[in-house]
Structure 1
Amino acid sequence: MQLTKDGVTVDLTGATWVKSSKSGPYSDNCIEVTGLDGPLIAVRDSKNPNGAVLAFTPDEWDAFVDGARGGEFDRA
């Protein structure tokens, strides 16, 4: 599978997908991430590995992670 964003294409064939260390063995609400050291970060639903894949630039990913750590997305 190839993924293209902003003119950058990456090949996800053989990619190593990683779940969050916060995901427990009984959690079914997990995402998997790959490409953290590349030009694009790819995210997919761990329950549907052949489904849709979202792509983020490193700057977009960093902004999301910083926002999550800072509570920006916490429900009131």
Structure 2
Amino acid sequence: MTARLRPKRGEWTARQLRALPVTVDVETAGSALGMGLWKARALIRDGQFPVPVIRHGCRYIVPTRPILALLGVEPADADGPVSTR
């Protein structure tokens, strides 16, 4: 038996959302926002996806920060500035 690579649609925890990379694919973004892949693609095609989408060649990527902001989840680095020393 294999473990799920991503939570079920709409079952993401704040910790799992914070662990996402800087950008995600449309399927992951849609899942985090509680929609399936077909709905996410339709919204992108119609220019109605609820967060910015970046076209990269023939595919789309979605920045994670707007997803976190829309869902009211503080980014992982919200605890304070990163020291450069």
> Is TM > 0.5 for Structure 1 vs Structure 2?
no
The two structures have a TM-score, normalised by structure 1, of: 0.29
- The structure whose Rg is larger is 2
Higher-RCO chain (CA-CA 8 Å, sequence separation at least 6):
2
Q: Which has the higher helix share?
A: 2
